[in-house]
Amino acid sequence: MEDKPHKSGYVAIIGKPNAGKSTLMNYILGAKISITTHKAQTTRHQIVGIFSDEDTQIVFLDTPGVISPRYELQKAMMKTVERARSDADVILFIHDPMDKHPTDDVIELIKSINKPVFLVVNKMDAANDEKARKSAEQIQEKLKIRSTHYISATAGTGVQELMEDIRGCLLPGPPFYPKEDLSEHPVRFFVSELIREQIFLQFHQEIPYSCTVEVVSYDADVDIDRIHADIIVNQKSQKGMLIGKGGTAIKELGIEARKSVEEFIGKQVYLELHVKVREKWREKEGWVRNLGY
């Protein structure tokens, strides 16, 4: 029997905010490398996740949800979607069949990409079968779809079949990254993302969307990693909300963020957080670029 040729390729995960793009990538990798919350636009960067087995390497590009950008930060987020368009060999269009709003923005974007497109109808653990099939048919009428998969990214139903289908589309080639790598981002990147995830979980309204996190220093020692990070807010009034009365809010944020960072790196962490005001950083291209977007 002949050996299977090694295959490799790039797969972009595209869809509306909150369709389950990050959840799907985390499930495939068996590790949490993309932060997920129930709030839209949690993902801001293009997160690169690397799936490897003996004869395959698939580099997933988890993109921010497709939106019409209103300010510089959102424009930077949409550029990562453009990057996925040029790098990807295959497009996964993730669709939430329970979403009441039309998916026209995504359909327009995908129409202009000449790559194989898989329609991935997610959240089938909660969706009504018939409604899901109807909404998939509406998309199939507008796009050239290679095949449609009905899955649950949280439960993992249908993901194995999807992976086999993706593999069938890839060309023979060597791996792009060492097989043990899960991502190309450094640990500092994940630390700032995990702190940002806690801000999304603990604060409401505009706060999570106005904040970014910068890891100022990261000293790894044998038994403990010491991390200092700044939380940057868009206006002065938000600083008080983040700190809370007598420092209670920032203390709670620090405790929860430390736990998730420790879980991620598998060792003890000392985490120090400070809040800094950078007036209207989201609107200023220079700041958006300086802060890594």
Annotated binding site: 15-22, 62-66, 122-125
Query: Contact, 268 vs 222, CB < 8 A?
Result: no
Amino acid in the structure at residue 15: G
Task: Identify the residue whose tokens are 């497109």.
Answer: 117
Closest CA to 219 of 181, 193, 187, 252: 187
Q: What is the DSSP letter of 128?
A: -
Burial classification of residue 239, based on how many CB atoms lie within 10 Å of its CB (0-12 exposed, 13-18 middle, 19 or more buried): middle
The CA-based angle 35-37-42, given to 5 degrees, is 65
> What is the full DSSP assignment across 182-249?
S-SS-HHHHHHHHHHHHHHHH--TTHHHH-EEEEEEEEE-SSEEEEEEEEEESSHHHHHHHH-GGGHH
**What's CA 47's distance to the chain center, in Å?**
5
Binding residues for GTP: 15-22, 62-66, 122-125
